[in-house]
Amino acid sequence: MDRMRRLRRTENIRKMVRESHVRIDELIYPLFIIEGEDICRPVESMPGICQYSVDRLDEELERIDKAGISSVLLFGIPACKDETGTGAYDENGVVQQAIRHIRAKYPDMVIIADVCLCEYTSHGHCGILSGGEVDNDLTLPLLAKIAVSYAGAGVDMVAPSGMMDHMVESIRTGLDKEGFLNIPVVSYSAKFASGYYGPFRDAAQSAPQFGDRRSYQMDPANGREALREIEQDLREGADMVIAKPAMAYLDVIKESSMRFNVPVIAYNVSGEYAMVKAAAAKGWIDEKRIVMENLTGMKRAGAKMIITYHALDAAGWIREDGI
Ligand code: PBG
Ligand code: ZN
């Protein structure tokens, strides 16, 4: 008789045969940087997460450093928005300032910056408009400009999230032309049009002012199309790819991690975070257990890294339990 329980008998045996692990150095922590002074504004739908102005960032950076987290993903909230999102490629933009600040204080921190226009456009779409629609090809040069600007400020990696066709190619070419040959492009390749981004849009003040993002983000039903998106981004020169959201799309993470020989990153998005925090606050679930189970599921599915708002808590728990 095959007795599976033999290898589950004690905690140390279970640890020995454990197949998947959540490692602190594979966690990426998102940060919302808001233009202005002396701001540390809690995001209501994301308990534990705040918008920070650059001058208040140090307290959070200290927590990040203490937790042993070595990578952050930056989102900017500019003071002024306009039709073409000029704040995104302003040399003194909020993200550019944050990059320089973090680079000076924590030279080893892996700084990744989200490259998109939605936080910077008055209409809140991820590209610029013509004839009431998001114009793919008019948007491409701006994305390259944003990436070059972030690279100039000292970013380690750029992460385009707007789901414009050929955004990777445009950014890669732009970076190379300016001599930034060694800045990787981490593409949000398989990004679905998801209800799970709700809390993020409060946090980043980036909700579209009309319509929705379904003409550029993917239909939640399409797994094969996600693989095509990834294939195309890799052809264009993406160094790593992101699948997003995570929990409802573990099949996409599984398939792509088996099929492509690049690191696949899972984005454990704001809505996933909010649900866990809300249920935990009510005492309906055990937060630590649920968070670690969710993150472990993403690793088991094949994610190499995980972008998560739980990163600081998770790092603490991982250290505590010596996993
Ligand atoms: C912007 C962007 C979004 C997220 C990451 N980059 C929101 C959106 O597409 O509306 C979502 C992240 C999250 O929900 O945690 N392009
Ligand atoms: Zn966007």
Given a cut of 80, whether residue 268 has pLDDT beyond it is: yes
Ligand 1 atom with the smallest distance to the CA of 119 is: 1
pLDDT 10s digits, 79-115? 999 999 999 999 999 999 999 999 999 999 999 999 9
Evaluate: CB of 22 within 6 angstroms of ligand 1.
Answer: no
**Gap from CA of 212 to ligand 2 centroid (Å):** 11
Burial 180-204 (b: 16+ CB within 10 A, else e): beebbbbbbbbbbebebbebbbbbb
Q: What percent of the chain has pLDDT over 90?
A: 98
Note if the pTM is more than 0.75: yes
Report how far residue 261's alpha carbon sits from residue 271's, in angstroms, rounded to the nearest whole number. 29
Give the pLDDT confidence score for residue 239 in this predicted structure: 98
Given a cut of 70, whether residue 230 has pLDDT beyond it is: yes
Of 116, 125, 200, 310, best ligand 1 pocket probe by most atoms within 8 Å of the beta carbon: 200
Evaluate: CB of 272 within 6 angstroms of ligand 1.
Answer: no
Of 75, 77, 114, 161, best ligand 1 pocket probe by most atoms within 8 Å of the beta carbon: 161
**Gap from CA of 94 to ligand 1 centroid (Å):** 18
Ligand 1 atom with the smallest distance to the CA of 273 is: 15
**Gap from CA of 235 to ligand 2 centroid (Å):** 22
pLDDT 10s digits, 160-188? 999 999 999 999 999 999 999 999 999 99
Give the pLDDT confidence score for residue 166 in this predicted structure: 98
Q: Which of 66, 81, 105, 191 is catalytic?
A: 191
Active site residue 15: no
**Gap from CA of 289 to ligand 2 centroid (Å):** 32
Active site residue 81: no
Evaluate: CB of 307 within 6 angstroms of ligand 1.
Answer: no
Evaluate: CB of 93 within 6 angstroms of ligand 1.
Answer: no
Evaluate: CB of 200 within 6 angstroms of ligand 1.
Answer: yes
Give the pLDDT confidence score for residue 323 in this predicted structure: 56
Of 73, 116, 143, best ligand 1 pocket probe by most atoms within 8 Å of the beta carbon: 116
Q: Quick one: average pLDDT of 50-69? A: 98
**Gap from CA of 208 to ligand 2 centroid (Å):** 9
